[in-house]
């Protein structure tokens, strides 16, 4: 009887959620008899319904290949999240013998822009390609990203790198800061949650990099502090995780918050994630409530990973 009552309670809760979402015009997104994946997708839809914006999320189990998400096909801007792939490309080209990652390069004061802490500090002495890759990932240094793109062949080279991984969706067309100017529906400088969750898995857990370079890239993600209030805020303490964020508050483009990365639940294969939230309102600064939307995605991810 207890199991019967629990089953009835669960069905009642799902029915209540469906009724609530019906008032928001979202009932058609809920499976009639949700299975496990459907229930987690519904939780993401409920987060979106209360967030005043569009949420895109994709979680990928790297062991089984199983995934769950919401709006996984929809395009969102990379913003600074592209710097994870850029850092990985430096390591991959070094491994292939195509570049010397210890080569020192220099830049000018005119190359500096907002959020360029490392390149500002090292303006006089320059830095190696490896140092610039780490700075682009860990401190989201915009000038470091532009210098790397210049040295590696431009935005098209990063697009080609994604294609070499089997990612036929992600693309980069411009450099900082123009790459943030992406209106809804535009293709330039965009990806999708499903594509990027797979790409992150290829970068961190696929055969692209040897073990030392995979460990180096993984450590850079762990050291990145910009995502501590996003997906990682919703994960259990003690679960190894790392990420790369992106934020676009460009006037007329809307407000977009991005977080992509990995989590390694105990006793299970790693999970990669790609989350995007486009707020309906234009924000003048990073809004804690918008970051909290992605933290809620982290809680759903943790529940799904522990299923």
The one-digit pLDDT tens for each residue of the chain (307 residues) are 433 333 333 333 333 333 333 333 333 333 333 567 789 999 999 999 999 999 999 999 999 999 999 999 999 999 999 999 999 999 999 999 999 999 999 999 999 999 999 999 999 999 999 999 999 999 999 999 999 999 999 999 999 999 999 999 999 999 999 999 999 999 999 999 999 999 999 999 999 999 999 999 999 999 999 999 999 999 999 999 999 999 999 888 889 999 999 999 999 999 999 999 999 999 999 999 999 999 999 999 999 999 8
Distance CA 202, CA 213 (A): 13
- The Cα 134–Cα 140 span in angstroms is 9
| Euclidean distance between CA atoms 199 and 122, whole angstroms | 31
Do residues 83 and 116 touch, judged by C-beta distance below 8 A? Answer: no
Could you name the CATH architecture of 31-305? 3-Layer(aba) Sandwich (3.40)
133 neighbors 148 (Cβ within 8 angstroms): yes
Q: How far apart are CA 54 and CA 45, in angstroms?
A: 10
Phi-psi region for residue 162, left (φ > 0), alpha (ψ -120 to 50) or beta? alpha
Q: With contact defined as beta carbons under 8 Å apart, do 58 and 69 qualify?
A: yes
Report DSSP state, residue 163.
H
Catalytic residue from among 176, 248, 255, 264: 176
Q: How far apart are CA 262 and CA 274, in angstroms?
A: 9
**Which one is catalytic: 58, 67, 80, 170?**
80
- Angle (CA) 45 46 47, round 5°: 90
Peptide bond just before 26 cis, omega within 30 deg: no
Structure tokens at 164: 């070499």
Question: How far apart are alpha carbons 302 and 181 in whole angstroms?
Answer: 32
Is 80 labeled as catalytic in the residue annotation?
A: yes
Distance between CA atoms of 19 and 61, rounded to whole angstroms?
A: 31
Q: Do residues 261 and 272 touch, judged by C-beta distance below 8 A?
A: yes
Strands (E), the chain: 53-61, 67-70, 76-77, 104-105, 127-128, 190-191, 241-248, 255-263, 271-279
Q: How far out from the chain centre does Cα 178 lie? A: 19
Using a CB cutoff of 8 Å and minimum separation of 24, what contacts does 221-224 make? Answer: 221/84, 221/137, 221/261, 221/262, 223/138, 224/137, 224/138, 224/140
pLDDT for 254:
84
Measure Cα distances from 130 to 72, 92, 93, 103, 111 in Å. Answer: 32, 11, 11, 8, 18
Q: How many CB atoms are closer than 10 A to CB 53?
A: 18
pLDDT at 13: 36
Active site residue 139: no
Asked if residues 61 and 198 have their Cβ atoms less than 8 Å apart, the reply is: no
In angstroms, the CA 148 to CA 86 distance is 8
Given a contact cutoff of 8 angstroms between Cβ atoms, the answer to whether 192 and 169 are in contact is: yes
For residues 113 and 15, give the distance between their C-alpha atoms in angstroms, rounded to a whole number. 51
């Amino acid at each position: 009887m207890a199991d019967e009552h629990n089953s009835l309670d669960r069905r009642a809760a799902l029915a209540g959620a469906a009724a609530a979402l019906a008032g928001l015009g979202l009932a058609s997104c809920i499976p009639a008899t949700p299975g496990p994946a459907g229930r987690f997708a519904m939780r993401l839809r409920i987060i979106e319904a209360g967030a005043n914006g569009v949420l895109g999320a994709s979680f990928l189990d790297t062991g089984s290949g199983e995934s769950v998400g919401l709006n996984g096909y929809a395009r969102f801007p990379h913003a600074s999240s592209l710097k994870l792939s850029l850092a990985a490309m430096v390591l991959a080209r070094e491994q292939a013998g195509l570049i010397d990652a210890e080569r020192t390069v220099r830049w000018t004061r005119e190359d500096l822009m907002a959020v360029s802490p490392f390149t500002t500090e090292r303006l006089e002495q320059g830095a190696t390609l490896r140092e610039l890759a780490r700075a682009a990932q860990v401190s989201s240094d915009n000038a470091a990203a532009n210098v790397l793109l210049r040295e590696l062949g431009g935005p098209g080279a990063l697009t080609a790198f994604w294609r070499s991984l089997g990612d036929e969706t992600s693309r980069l067309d411009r450099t900082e800061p123009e790459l943030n100017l992406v209106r809804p529906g535009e293709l330039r400088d965009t990806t999708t949650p499903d594509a990027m969750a797979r790409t992150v898995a290829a970068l961190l857990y696929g055969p692209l990099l040897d073990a030392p370079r995979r460990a180096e890239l993984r450590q850079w993600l762990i050291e990145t502090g910009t995502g501590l209030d996003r997906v990682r805020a919703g994960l259990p303490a003690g679960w190894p995780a790392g990420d790369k964020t992106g934020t676009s508050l460009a006037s007329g483009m809307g407000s977009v918050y991005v977080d992509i990365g990995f989590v390694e639940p105990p006793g299970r294969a790693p999970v990669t994630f790609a989350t995007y939230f486009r707020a309906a309102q234009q924000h003048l600064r990073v809004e804690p409530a918008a970051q909290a939307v992605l933290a809620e995605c982290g809680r759903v991810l943790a529940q799904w990973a522990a299923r």
